[in-house]
Structure 1
Amino acid sequence: GIIGAGWWATSSHIPGTIQHERARLRAVQSRKKSKARQVADHFGADLFFDDYQQLVLAENMDAVIVSSTPNMHFEHAKFALEHRKHVLIEKPMTFTVAESQELCNLASENNLQFLVSCPWHYTGHGIEARQLIRKGALGHIKMVSVLMTNPIDKLLKGINTSPTHGMDNVYIEPNQGTYSDPSIAGGGQIYCQVSHAGAYLSFLTGAQPEEVYAKFDYADSKNDIYDVLTITLDNGALVTLASTGATPLSIRNFEVRVYGTKGILLMELWKGKMAYHPFEGESKEYPALAADEIYPDKAPVLNFIDTCLNLAPNGSSGELGLAAMRIIEAACLSDKSGKPIKIKDI
């Protein structure tokens, strides 16, 4: 079942569910019953609801995708996990570390699959980079540099509601305020985009954030538009993470540079490029990813279904969403206080 049948659900999660030969779209939910009916009719769902609890409790409901607005993620996912449903949750996972931790604990206690929806975790380059780092090909990781941009500043400022991914196939645009109202979205770039980059750090390295120092520029907006973070990981690695939504539509960056004691890894995720340069031996340029492999937006739901059926391992554990939330909450506290924030003090 799909809780929050809006833009991203109708662009990615629902088409992905339909694509999987062993899954069935049982029900969809939206706050407006007419919208839920429209989506159910269009995509062939059996049932439609305006009450998310009715969806979770519907007969023959095995798994739930939480694709509602971020302010509702915790409530929706908690109810589903408490009623022993596997859950795929959109990022940002919640508003706070405590909420994300509670969801992870619930999933573990009930032996349920719990995934955070991060398509970057499913690219061929991402999986290969993770293997290289985990097997020690780079040696001890000492430094990571991340630059992440995406042209969404107008979305974050509430100037328009037009998404910048999949613009040619938008079935439903985001509602006014979904991304621009801090009470709904949590914040701007830090919640919307750094949630990707923060999770990716732990996905690649296996390390957890230990301390964060951050500065935001709001650019005359209610939301942060320019974010710069310095992060210390629990393996001692130093991380710089810069992110903004204020770029031309034609410019997107997701550059990840990993520096170890035995080599370096250079990734350009939006360009589908990756290169490994050991201090000794031959460098390796990996084949560029095809356009549809760069951001595999249906991969999270396809993997979610496979994990529920015990056909594949969990490729994007909720623990990664929790790691991102530690960075996000610490960064927000740091920006307000002007001081570095230790994760243990949150």
Structure 2
Amino acid sequence: MGVIGAGWWATLSHIPALRANPNVEIVAVNRPDADGMEKVVASFPGVKPYFDAAEMLATETLHGVVVASPHILHAEHAQLALSRGLPTLIEKPMATSATDARALLATANANHTQIILPYGWNFRPIVETAHQLVKDGWVGEVRHVVAQMASALADLFGGEPMVETKDHLFRPPVSTWADPKKSGGYGWGQLTHGLGALFRIIDLDPAKVFAKTGLSPAGVDFYDAAVVEFANGATMALSGSATVPKSRGYQIDIRIFGTEGMMLFDIERARVEVIRHDGKTHIADLGPDAGAYEQVAPITLLVDLARGEKLPNPADGVVGMRSSVLLDAMYRSARSGRLEDVL
């Protein structure tokens, strides 16, 4: 297995998960700097280091790839792997332009392979339960959505070190998370998670977006407010915020209104509830910690797909593409002040 971009999150989560998987024998890692690579090799004895991603893919016989490089490099690096027919886990966002997102999905389809987005909540029963209820027609045709995500990351998107990472091997770089010229900001960095859950739950393409953003001290979006129209004419009020107090966890709250009823989805309170016009209700029994984030399951799925297993993928290339094309239109609208078509 190969890892392109052996930085903060790859060394904290992905590489340990790969090394702990009994079906993985060799892990090759890529990052461009010698000092950083020295730390990676010292922390993970036995990994095979490469400074150039293309060289790693050309030299090693890989069966799957993790792309965890900076946001603006995801598309370039994922194309290297997908064009070889390798199942590829692409850190969110899948791409930072609609053109690149659609091109990645086309390359995966052309080479009969899969994209996995590590949208952790998509791998938990809370999202899968909501997905199945909507698929089974409990809310009918989706006509309106209210969706919001919020995180305690004012430091990260404000251009300051993320306090929780002070003891990590690497820290999230400002150049990735808080540089407006390099697709920093809450939308690309966090709201994509909420959209990943949304597009697993509902099967709709975004068509038009009008948006406003509130900026952090670093000049990237702290706050996102958007009105979205879907291809079927349904509408959505979308919100994102980076400034939850550190004493609280993540929030993803989605309300779906359809022709037959409505769904309440909330990871903070761990609920999935449907109320219908005919008087029927469904309250899901989700169990303890149902709203917790899942880190390892996306890597496990990548390894299993690389081994040739046929398994459902709750965060596939379509989910990632829809998230990216919506965000692309959101940022264009925030800059132009106009309603923008999804490209």
Same-fold call, TM > 0.5?
Answer: yes
Kindly provide the CA deviation profile for residues 268-319 of structure 1, in whole angstroms up to 9, marking residues without a partner as x.
1134222222333443332344338621012211112222223222221112
Amino acid in the other structure paired with 1:313: P
CA 110–292 in structure 1, closer or farther in 2 if over 3 Å, else same: same
Partner of 2:276: 278
- 1:242, distance to aligned residue in structure 2 (A): 0.8
Partner of 1:138: 139
Partner secondary structure for residue 216 of structure 1: strand
CA 290–16 in structure 1, closer or farther in 2 if over 3 Å, else same: farther
| Alpha-carbon distance in 2 for matches of 1:148, 1:114 | 24
Kindly provide the CA deviation profile for residues 11-33 of structure 1, in whole angstroms up to 9, marking residues without a partner as x.
22112212322123421112223
Bigger drift between 17-26 and 72-81 goes to 17-26
- 1:124, distance to aligned residue in structure 2 (A): 0.1
Partner of 1:336: 335
- 1:146, distance to aligned residue in structure 2 (A): 1.0
Q: CA RMSD in A?
A: 2.0
Matches within 5 A, 1:83-94: 83-94=84-95
Partner secondary structure for residue 176 of structure 2: coil
Partner of 2:190: 193
Task: Say if 1:77 and 1:87, in contact at 8 Å, map to a contact too.
Answer: yes
| Alpha-carbon distance in 1 for matches of 2:169, 2:303 | 23
Partner of 1:101: 102
Bigger drift between 282-291 and 327-336 goes to 282-291
| Alpha-carbon distance in 1 for matches of 2:103, 2:306 | 21
Partner of 1:14: 15
Kindly provide the CA deviation profile for residues 17-50 of structure 1, in whole angstroms up to 9, marking residues without a partner as x.
1232212342111222342243234234431122
Q: Give yes or no for the alignment of 1:265 onto 2:263.
A: yes
Partner of 2:316: 317
Amino acid in the other structure paired with 1:260: G
Gaps spanning 5+ residues in structure 1: where?
none
Matches within 5 A, 1:118-129: 118-129=119-130
Amino acid in the other structure paired with 2:25: R
Amino acid in the other structure paired with 1:120: W
Task: Say if 2:13 and 2:296, in contact at 8 Å, map to a contact too.
Answer: yes
Amino acid in the other structure paired with 1:233: F
Task: Say if 2:4 and 2:66, in contact at 8 Å, map to a contact too.
Answer: yes
Equivalent residue for 1:204, pick from 190, 201, 206: 201
| Alpha-carbon distance in 1 for matches of 2:63, 2:214 | 43
Partner of 1:65: 66
- 1:332, distance to aligned residue in structure 2 (A): 1.1
Partner secondary structure for residue 117 of structure 1: coil
- 1:96, distance to aligned residue in structure 2 (A): 0.6
Amino acid in the other structure paired with 2:3: I
Bigger drift between 306-315 and 72-81 goes to 306-315
Q: Which runs of 4+ in 1 moved over 6 A?
A: none
Amino acid in the other structure paired with 1:249: K
Partner of 2:3: 2
| Alpha-carbon distance in 2 for matches of 1:211, 1:289 | 37
Task: Say if 1:256 and 1:266, in contact at 8 Å, map to a contact too.
Answer: yes
| Alpha-carbon distance in 2 for matches of 1:56, 1:292 | 38
Q: TM-score, normalized by length of structure 1?
A: 0.91
Bigger drift between 173-182 and 296-305 goes to 173-182
| Alpha-carbon distance in 2 for matches of 1:149, 1:41 | 36
Task: Say if 2:67 and 2:90, in contact at 8 Å, map to a contact too.
Answer: yes
Q: Give yes or no for the alignment of 1:221 onto 2:222.
A: no
Gaps spanning 5+ residues in structure 2: where?
none
Partner of 2:181: 183
CA 54–249 in structure 1, closer or farther in 2 if over 3 Å, else same: same
Task: Say if 2:269 and 2:291, in contact at 8 Å, map to a contact too.
Answer: no
Task: Say if 1:11 and 1:169, in contact at 8 Å, map to a contact too.
Answer: no
CA 25–267 in structure 1, closer or farther in 2 if over 3 Å, else same: farther
Q: TM-score, normalized by length of structure 2?
A: 0.92
Bigger drift between 209-218 and 81-90 goes to 81-90
CA 34–221 in structure 1, closer or farther in 2 if over 3 Å, else same: closer
CA 24–236 in structure 1, closer or farther in 2 if over 3 Å, else same: farther
CA 174–326 in structure 1, closer or farther in 2 if over 3 Å, else same: same
| Alpha-carbon distance in 1 for matches of 2:291, 2:213 | 32
Bigger drift between 116-125 and 19-28 goes to 19-28
